[in-house]
Amino acid sequence: MSGGYQVYRAALPEVCAADPARMVFTADAGGRCEVFAWDAAAGRARQVTRRARGTLHGTVDRDAHVWWFDEDAHGAGCWRFQSFTGGPDRPGLTDVPPGLPRGLAVSDHGTVAVAAGDGRATTVHVGPRGGRARTVARLPGHVTLTGITPGGRLLALAGADAVTVLTCDGVVRAVLPGGDTGRLWSLGFAPGPDREELLLIREREDGYVLASWRPGSGPATHDWCAFDTEITARWDPDGRSVLVRQDRHGRSTLHRADLTARTLSPVPTPPGTVLDAATRPGGDLHYLWTAAGRPPRLCSTRGTALPELPALAEPFPGTHRDVWTPGPDGPVHSLLSLPDAPRGPVPAVFLVHGGPADHDRDAYDGVVHSLVASGFAVVRVNYRGSTGYGPRWRRAFRDGVGLTQVADLASVRADLVARRLIRADAVGLWGTSWGGYLVLLALGTRPGLWQAGVAVKPVADCAAAYRTTTPALRALDERLFGGTPDEVPERYARSSPIHYATAVRAPLLVAAATHDAKCPPGQIRAYLAALRAAGVRHEALWLDSGHDGYDGGDHVTVLRRGVVFLDRELRGPAHRRPQTPRSARSGEHHTAEHLTERRRSRAEGHHPQRPARG
């Protein structure tokens, strides 16, 4: 706990396949994210990790060993494990140098595969649990290990352009390209003895379709299981059916696909957002559900005792509605939260999501809670480039990188002002990572529309960030801009906030991290220097952390500073009533899995093989 705030990770507990009552999850421990073991039969949790900077990555294997990633301040480290009931910590594999986490997979018989990045390439190591590692592959760039077959014979590795299947000796069995119409995502091998079927999602021009691969027969596309917006999927324990989650228009639905019968059936869940879902042994469906006015809760269709999430005091402030604004590539969808009983138009804060391959959801958010409780309207815009609206919307960058998204923010602002929902003279922006980048770009390119901005760990200079960020994000920038800064310098310059720093008129709060590898501190310092030279009023807050901090204290510091800053700038002393309620959690549900290059096991913006700037 940190002043009543708690961090959390928006993911289900991982379940031991051989003993479903044994689980592993991450939760708050003194204001940090740490790994816990959960005994559902006894209803008892045991804290496994106690690291000064917190621990995010944890899982459990079939033999009930608890695994976690032991990383340093820069995100590099090694996997370790211990018995479910406790005992000494052991290295997952010996003779593996520290690296960035690119995936862990453990077979049913204890064969361990680890992928580690070094900033230039990804190295794959294999060996017996706790034993000496063999290096079986080294691949250029950012590659993610997405699975091992139950028998330990094959590995799946996902890169930007293809999925590669290797034997555990490093022999290439298949290279599966994304194709001309879009990308290919790998979601792991089927469970069960002697099963060697890999689950895939293929992007098409107008949607997404389930696919699979088997040795001998090769890839198969299941055209009967197609969706118009982004999906992710998980194998059911039987290895023959798949649980599919679709993100559509800020909400989600579940479906069960039977690959043998070729049938697709809806799985009932309450309206809102399912952040994570999985079918457990015995047919028990576990899912993590939330809605704008309802904090996340863990659910089991068979009443299995799951770890309790921290309770928040009710009632929750505000009312929530959808707003659709006409746009050149189709209507722009926004989630609008208004304070209780507003008397006419109210000051507003646009809470800008990052990614860009992500989207805002009908889901609880601690920042929204704090802002609405303080009397602000909160607007969350799923601008062009967001997921949840299909491939064409995600590729719609007609005005250029960043500038297209700023145009959507401006259009939604004008629409809400015209509807007399928000005040035209009291509109602020708040964004983190790529959302912070859009805040800076909007303040510089359309300075007359905004009265204040909060940019947390932003990109401020696209070319400088490209040269000093991670290889995965350099590849993302090359896709967005159509080349490197040396190849298309004018595109990077046109989309860079630093190019417009002298035009900024609104007061600005910038929060940055000294160890940030994704949005490096050097380019932020250069932007702040440009603001100083131009005489722009601004404040800077530096955090001694990386891009994906696991310490609740940092989140609390930014939240409090941001709410007070916006209250002062948008309302002034006569109407001041900032609140950062103790019930507001410091972890944001839509970014807690956007950690170490987006670790969520989901497609398009939520899958570990697709990097994003949060």
Band (590; pLDDT cuts 50, 70, 90): very low
Place of tokens 């609104």: 506
Cβ–Cβ < 8 Å for 370, 384: no
> Which spans in 2-105 are helix H?
none
Average pLDDT over residues 540-563: 86
* Token pair for 175: 């290279």
Band (574; pLDDT cuts 50, 70, 90): very low
Strands lying side by side in the sheet with 77-83: 58-60, 65-71, 77-83, 90-91
pLDDT at 583: 35
Q: What does the chain come to in residues? A: 614
Q: CA-to-CA distance for 611 and 470, rounded, in angstroms? A: 10
The pLDDT mean for the chain works out to 90
Helix axes 434-445, 403-418, angle to 10 degrees: 70
Cβ–Cβ < 8 Å for 304, 284: yes
Average pLDDT over residues 422-442: 97
Average pLDDT over residues 132-152: 95
Q: What is the DSSP letter of 546?
A: -
Q: CA-to-CA distance for 171 and 181, rounded, in angstroms? A: 28
* Token pair for 69: 């990633």
Q: Residue 607: pLDDT above 80?
A: no
Q: What is the DSSP letter of 313?
A: P
Q: Residue 47: pLDDT above 90?
A: yes
pLDDT at 285: 97
Q: CA-to-CA distance for 39 and 21, rounded, in angstroms? A: 6
* Token pair for 441: 């770009």
Q: CA-to-CA distance for 154 and 111, rounded, in angstroms? A: 11
| pLDDT tens by residue, 493-536 | 999 999 999 999 999 999 999 988 889 999 999 999 999 999 99
Helix axes 552-570, 366-373, angle to 10 degrees: 30
Number of neighbours of residue 226 by Cβ within 10 angstroms: 16
59 has which bridge partners? 67
CB within 8 A of 113, min separation 6: which ones? 103, 104, 105, 106, 124, 125, 126, 145, 148, 155, 168
Q: CA-to-CA distance for 422 and 124, rounded, in angstroms? A: 53
Q: CA-to-CA distance for 28 and 550, rounded, in angstroms? A: 10
pLDDT at 161: 87
* Token pair for 16: 């031991």
Supply the DSSP string of 407-418, one letter for each residue: HHHHHHHHHHHH
pLDDT at 556: 87
Q: Residue 282: pLDDT above 70?
A: yes
> Which spans in 498-577 are helix H?
521-534, 552-570
User: Of the candidates 141, 57, 37, 136, which has an alpha carbon nearest to the alpha carbon of residue 104?
Assistant: 57
Average pLDDT over residues 587-609: 31
Cβ–Cβ < 8 Å for 507, 538: yes
pLDDT at 11: 86
Q: CA-to-CA distance for 573 and 575, rounded, in angstroms? A: 6
| pLDDT tens by residue, 450-465 | 999 999 999 999 999 9
* Token pair for 194: 């002697």
Supply the DSSP string of 178-210, one letter for each residue: --TT--EEEEEEPPSTT---EEEEEE-SS-EEE
User: Of the candidates 481, 535, 547, which has an alpha carbon nearest to the alpha carbon of residue 511?
Assistant: 547
More confident position, 573 or 571: 571
* φ, ψ of residue 398 in degrees (nearest 5): -60, -30
Supply the DSSP string of 321-341, one letter for each residue: EEEEE--BTBPEEEEEEE-SS
Band (5; pLDDT cuts 50, 70, 90): low
Band (608; pLDDT cuts 50, 70, 90): very low
- Amino acid in position 439: V
pLDDT at 551: 67
Question: Would you list the domain boundaries of the chain?
Answer: 319-592
Q: CA-to-CA distance for 350 and 354, rounded, in angstroms? A: 13
Q: Global pTM?
A: 0.90
pLDDT at 76: 92
With the CA atoms of 49, 52, 54 and 58 taken in that order, what torsion angle do they form, in degrees rounded to the nearest 10? -30
pLDDT at 32: 85
User: Of the candidates 183, 223, 216, which has an alpha carbon nearest to the alpha carbon of residue 197?
Assistant: 216
pLDDT at 141: 87
* Token pair for 354: 């990052």
* Token pair for 107: 């077979």
Percent of the chain beyond pLDDT 70? 91
**Secondary structure of residue 465 in the 3-state scheme:** helix
Band (180; pLDDT cuts 50, 70, 90): confident
* Token pair for 384: 């062009």
> Domain 319-592, what fold?
Rossmann fold (3.40.50)
User: Of the candidates 225, 100, 37, 94, which has an alpha carbon nearest to the alpha carbon of residue 608?
Assistant: 100
